[in-house]
Structure 1
């Protein structure tokens, strides 16, 4: 996609990638121990990073649950929220311009001075629900409330929170509140379960294996998460065969 739009980029073009999981640009735009690194799980040769200079980017995290009923037909029963942020953590005029445009379209849009905090919040939501939904075929209310599933969900959540903290991120929900909010989303199928049922590839690299890669960079194991991802990958492979 980036290769296709590259000829359209000019000095003031903004690109807002609406992606799940850890974005390829995570180590761009700020100074730090891993500045300039690329994430093998989602950009193994760094080609995506080279195609799009980070000055064009505005980060985006989407908190929307939706059902794909048919091609171009989507239903959502929960509030719609998009959080936007410059990847260098500045509040800028262009950021506010984009926020207002999305808000005018009827979607709640917020600007933040630390988009990576929001990324880790979404990572926690994705990793605690998406892979397990493929394994169990459970909906969000079941994943976060069923007594047989909650211990595993909480174990994965604790691992994600530890890695997020290691990267200096702040998730503003305590674990119990996080679990209750997840259960409160209702009988919603995750996007990964919808993809699985439709025979589509799963976002395991962006949602899961990229996070395990970040954990290895700071020498923190994610044992439960790794096992869950590998089990999900095995089930997906069997399903395709």
Structure 2
């Protein structure tokens, strides 16, 4: 377990153990990056993905080449304690893990989109903000790290991930007690090839990532575009900017210290390249979309706080219609991770 009593170099990182729950694009990209730097990774996977990984290993393609790597593979959560536990799942897959995670002792990094289960804001209870309330009570705040993930990753097939650039994580401690373990976590991940920034305010960090997701993910679904196409099309870019401005207004109403203009977010979108957003990837694969955490929770906040979000509401309504009428996966339920023995 990371305790904060020392920093980690490359050699020390090789003695640490990372447990990653979820073998989608994010989980596979993080696992592959750490494995390439000789960090021991246990990857929890299921179904066709687990079968593919057992048969062929984990395949990473980046801007330099193709690599085949071999994590320890399990279908259920092992009893052995790791040094770091990464949740690389969709927000709607997390609630069934509450009882299991309550029994663990590792530092937990939830790499999820949207409003996370640990977030609270002015005038609203956490239960009203998030359907994952059980998780907030299951995991002590000092064992949690707020995380904003910036990964241009996509699955090319089960167990095969394309990630042209190293994964980048923004991390923030949720309590004073959690700061030292977080610093060790950051050093450890950096030695494992992951780019890490530590920020002081977890809520503002989260909101910046939420703003980027809200401004681009739903829009990319209905326009069938990449981030580069959104940035280069005047109409789409104006729409993304309007949504970003609405998200800034909502965040400020919730008590967050945010700039009035989301210039940094929009600049990042312009330099993201031909990345297909995770929501568009899910839509085209017939999977359940992350509408609750990315769209519904902010819109509920807006209603309660009296913030108008006309552009975002319209785009979300169009995504709902598209999801309901697509030819496959209309009512597919997100498979739940059952990790107990």
The residue aligned with 2:226 is 139
Q: Which has the larger radius of gyration?
A: 2
The residue aligned with 1:211 is 298
Stretches of structure 1 that go unaligned for 5 or more consecutive residues are: none
The residue aligned with 1:26 is 119
With normalisation by structure 2, the TM-score equals: 0.63
Question: Aligned residue pairs: how many?
Answer: 233
The residue aligned with 2:198 is 111
The residue aligned with 1:227 is 314
Matched residues in 2 for 1:86 and 1:154: separation?
Answer: 30
Corresponding residue to 2:126 among 37, 47, 55: 37
The 8 Å contact of residues 133 and 190 in structure 1, kept in 2 or not, is answered as yes
Compute the RMSD of aligned alpha carbons: 2.3
Stretches of structure 2 that go unaligned for 5 or more consecutive residues are: 1-95, 331-341
Q: Deviations over 1:139-161 (max 9, x none)?
A: 00111220121221111111011
The residue aligned with 1:2 is 97
With normalisation by structure 1, the TM-score equals: 0.86
Q: Deviations over 1:7-43 (max 9, x none)?
A: 6324xx3222111111011029xxx543x53235533
The residue aligned with 2:284 is 197
Matched residues in 1 for 2:102 and 2:207: separation?
Answer: 32
Q: Deviations over 1:172-218 (max 9, x none)?
A: 69444532331221111101111111111100111111111222232
Superposed, 1:134-213 pairs within 5 Å as: 134-171=221-258, 174-213=261-300
Matched residues in 2 for 1:7 and 1:55: separation?
Answer: 13
The 8 Å contact of residues 91 and 113 in structure 1, kept in 2 or not, is answered as no
Distance 1:40 1:110, change over 3 A: closer
Please state which structure has a larger fraction of its residues in strand: 2
